Chains A and B, each alone.
Chain A
Amino acid sequence: MSVTTVLSDDTEPKAVPARRSALLGGGARLALGLLLPLILALGWEAAVAAGLASGRLLPPPSRVGAALWTLAASGELWIHVEATLIRVGLGFAFGAGAGILAGALTATLPTLRWLVDPSLQALRAVPSLAWVPLFILWFGILETPKVALIAVGVFFPVYIGVAGAIASVDRKLVEVGRIFRLSKVALARRILLPAVLPATLTALRTGLGLGFLFVVAAELMGASEGLGYLLLDGQQFSKPDQILAAIISFAVVGKAADAGLVALTSPLVRWQDTARETL
């Protein structure tokens, strides 16, 4: 038969990504983003060098860099980074796991939702830091209360994100599954799971960010190592360069963890028609 592939204006694919220009644009964007902090840092350095400012409370970048270098060279920095990463990792794993489970269950079982969701929403309204005294009473002052606090902080955004994603799955796509008579399990695996994946990953990113927020709080409440301890130590012995070194380490570690999460999960959602990488 000859009635197969004659077409008028329809065969051109819609989207041809202009990859090279995007890459160039990305490089220029990165440089532009670095411009402001670089100017500020150089300006402050020059101001302190010229004697316009003492730099006692806000040390110039060279002294912060030196403090960072000393900490790194002595190996002390890595001990603190490791301690912080282990706490965030454990808290994130527990909190995100519980959040995904609770979100999936309440979104799919209405009775359970009516039973549990109001209480969870009420608990969510409690500032997570309010749990600190109780956690210390319950778990002592070692690692457990810290991991518990981080887990609580991570739990809520993940719970809300996953439950919302499942509740907003397009009924039209579910009907496609029904037309082909998918079983409940197959429907969950072949339609619900892929459909909620993007929103779930966004929720996990939010959760990871909050994990880093709460690890500071956890380490400020008493720790002998960790980047938060470095902050507190810098305050008590009035070493602002150490505080800034710890802050910079937080920025680098947090950004790296987020980038790692995105890199690990983006192959799962490369089908998406969005500008996720620009977020």
Chain B
Amino acid sequence: MLSIQSLSKTYADGTRALEGIDLQMPNAEIVALIGGSGCGKTTLLRLIAGLDRPSAGDIALDGEPITGPHPGVGLVFQEPRLLPWLSVAENVGFGIDHLPRRERRERVTHALERVGLAEQTGRWPRELSGGQQQRVSIARAFVANPRVLLLDEPFSALDAFTRKDLHRHLLALWEEVRPTVLIVTHDVAEAVALADRAIVMRPRPGRLDDTVALPMRRPRDPAAPTSEAATRNILAALDHSLRPRDASRAPELAGGSSF
């Protein structure tokens, strides 16, 4: 269980990036965080990853407080961030240096097979396409067997085909390790394809707004009526999050409110 209680983050310049975040995620749940830019999605992820310290509030993984980078928490960045001087296999094994060589090699080989890059183990990162690089970085996070995996818009720079393919690879790896997954996205279709629950964020300061449950069975068909209904629900929630909270002016905006 990943539990977040009244978490706030105010930057040194006074920007209130996050305020009063409460979130409970049971094990193996996949949650999508959706919201426009500047609503604190990445900040929240960095706090959970232990890269930044919160101004107030607590984060705990299975009761254990998180005060810095934690062995049970993995993070996939928005960019692949591979180390250019290491081969693909060395990059995947970067975080499990402490394991015996044989186990390390087995885990790396297995993860690379899972993301469809078994043929590319000896290549340099620069020889891979953007989608392949991002798959390497996903494999790098998974080989450490994280209990919580955080993904920060990992597929936003990729084309629709590659993205769909990566969703499949991600779910295949998730089936095996079954970590709790928190994925930041601004792609509604991505949330509908992957998540058990989509949480919409609201900016200035960043807060959690609406939650849309996505109880459909996997693998999901984006064209199925349930998926379409879920997409509509999330869009409505997003729309709602863009309106001022004290909705006294709501009636005149209703109808064609989005743009």
Contact = CB atoms under 8 A, between A and B. Distances in A.
Contact of B69 (A1, A5, A179, A272): A179
B199 interface: no
Nearest to A170: B81
Contacts of B74: 179
Interface in B63-120: 68-69, 71, 74-75, 77, 79, 81, 83-86, 94-95, 97, 113-114, 116, 118-120
A8 B144 CA distance: 28
Interface in B112-138: 113-114, 116, 118-120, 123-124, 126-129, 131-132
A18 to B, nearest CB: 14
A277 interface: no
Q: A interface, by DSSP: helix, strand, loop or mixed? A: loop
A175 B51 contact: yes
B65 to A, nearest CB: 16
A275 B142 CA distance: 34
A173 B81 contact: yes
Interface string B22-51: 000000000000000000000000000101
Interface string A117-151: 00000000000000000000000000000000000
Given A175-B51, A176-B83, A4 B113 contact: yes
A273 B126 contact: yes
A237 interface: no
Interface residues of A, number: 32
B162 interface: yes
Contacts of A197: 85
B172 interface: yes
B97 to A, nearest CB: 8
Contacts of B79: 172
B161 interface: yes
Given A4-B116, A191-B83, A271-B84, A15 B126 contact: yes
Contacts of A13: 120, 123, 127-129
Contact of B168 (A3, A176, A194, A273): A3
Q: Which of A186, A271, A272 has the most CB of B within 10 A?
A: A271
27 contacts: A1-B172, A5-B113, A6-B116, A7-B165, A9-B161, A10-B129, A10-B165, A15-B127, A172-B81, A175-B51, A175-B81, A179-B49, A179-B51, A179-B69, A179-B75, A180-B69, A180-B95, A181-B68, A181-B69, A190-B94, A190-B97, A194-B83, A195-B85, A197-B85, A271-B85, A271-B124, A271-B126
Interface of B: 49, 51, 68-69, 71, 74-75, 77, 79, 81, 83-86, 94-95, 97, 113-114, 116, 118-120, 123-124, 126-129, 131-132, 144, 161-162, 165, 168-169, 172
Given A10-B131, A172-B81, A181-B68, 5 more contacts: A5-B118, A13-B127, A179-B51, A190-B97, A271-B85
